[in-house]
Amino acid sequence: MGVLGPKMAFRVLVGCKRVIDYAVKVRVKPDKTGVVTDGVKHSLNPFDEIAIEEAVRLKEKKIATEIVAVSCGPPKCQEVLRTALAMGADRGIHIEVPDEEYASLQPIHVSKILAKLAAQEEASMIIVGKQAIDDDCNQTAQMTAAFLDWPQATFASKIEKTNGDLLVTREVDGGLETIKVKLPAVLSTDLRLNEPRYATLPNIMKAKKKKIDKKKPADLGVDITQHVEVLKVEEPPVRQAGVIIENAEQLVSKLREAGHIQ
């Protein structure tokens, strides 16, 4: 039995985080409590876009049967769920977390939520971005896999399904490595996994009709008590302005003077 029988559903859960757009130069708040988010352009975390794209491709290959996009946070998270739905996700689940509590929501909470949802939805695979470009944590996939006791295939740049297993090529420090993981599994995407598609206007219109369920962490029995307290957020040190030099010869002699090169 189990979720992987030939005629059973192969449901993919995809984590979708709403983050400040990657092209925005963030500003730290003067009171050092965080960065300015009001009135700043937000979008779907780029790594999660890659996760959605991969899930859609698995569906196009007739491997996945349903794609469920999940986002945790304040009401505006529904915008990123709509983006995921327009790219091809079938339905969405919004885990509502009010702003005050969202400020201290960590990957440990999100992964507990994803683990509970995976059980409820009988998911065969969870796929999330390798990191969110706001907190730069790179933890959620690994922790979700741990809570479920599923294998993890992180920093994936290629995914192939063979029988009940996945063959995943991972981006590691010295190059690439390939591992085999049993399904169900948790995956995290690296940049090179795919090129996410643009949502077309008709698909954006269709996405408006797709369903987004709302739940609260408490509905899933997940406690979101703070584990990590943010004491302060500051600007990084500013580098001294440099000098423009005339030519290659001058550059080499400056580097020699400074003792960098012989």
Partner 1 sequence: MFSYGSKRLSNLIVNGIKRFNSTLVIAEHDNANLSGVTLNAITAASKFGGDVTCLVAGEKTASVVEQLSKVKGVSKILVAENEAFKGMLAESIAPLVVSSQNQFKFTHIVAAGSATGKNLIPRVAAKLDVSPISDIIGIEDHETFVRTIYAGNAVTTVRCKDAVKVLTVRGTSFEAAETEGGSASSEQFAGDGSSNELSQWESADLSTSDRPELTSAKIVISGGRGMKNGDNFQLLYTLADKWGAAVGASRAAVDAGMVPNDMQVGQTGKIVAPELYVAVGISGAIQHLAGMKDSKTIVAINKDPEAPIFQVADLGLVADLFKAIPEMTELCNK
Is position 136 an interface residue for partner 1 (rule: CB under 8 A)?
A: yes
Instruction: State how beta strands 185-189 and 125-129 pair.
Output: parallel
Is position 134 an interface residue for partner 1 (rule: CB under 8 A)?
A: yes
d(CA 134, CA 207): 26
Q: Which is nearer to partner 1, 89 or 110 (CB)?
A: 110
d(CA 172, CA 189): 12
Contact 81, 186 (CB under 8 A): no
Interacting stretch for partner 1, rule CB under 8 A, among 5-13, 25-33, 86-94, 198-206? Answer: 25-33
- Name the 3-class secondary structure at 59: helix
**The one among 147, 206, 210, 220 contacting partner 1 by CB under 8 A:** 147
H/E run at residue 188: strand 185-189
Least distance CB 192 / partner 1 (angstroms): 6
Is position 139 an interface residue for partner 1 (rule: CB under 8 A)?
A: yes
Interacting stretch for partner 1, rule CB under 8 A, among 59-67, 74-82, 91-99, 186-194? Answer: 186-194
Q: Which is nearer to partner 1, 12 or 186 (CB)?
A: 186
Nearest by Cα to 178 from 199, 202, 162, 195: 162
Least distance CB 208 / partner 1 (angstroms): 31
Query: CA 216 → CA 18, 127, 176, 237, distances in Å?
Result: 17, 21, 39, 39
Least distance CB 144 / partner 1 (angstroms): 8
Query: CA 159 → CA 54, 80, 121, 123, 155, distances in Å?
Result: 9, 24, 22, 17, 11
Is position 106 an interface residue for partner 1 (rule: CB under 8 A)?
A: yes
Interacting stretch for partner 1, rule CB under 8 A, among 70-78, 81-89, 94-102, 227-235? Answer: 227-235
Least distance CB 112 / partner 1 (angstroms): 9
d(CA 58, CA 64): 5
Contact 95, 71 (CB under 8 A): yes
Contact 61, 50 (CB under 8 A): no
In the range 187-226, which residues lie near partner 1 by CB under 8 A? 190-192, 226
**The one among 26, 63, 204, 220 contacting partner 1 by CB under 8 A:** 26
Interacting stretch for partner 1, rule CB under 8 A, among 48-56, 103-111, 199-207, 208-216? Answer: 103-111
In the range 59-98, which residues lie near partner 1 by CB under 8 A? none
In the range 231-250, which residues lie near partner 1 by CB under 8 A? 231-236, 239-245, 247-249
Q: How many residues does the chain have?
A: 262
Least distance CB 217 / partner 1 (angstroms): 15
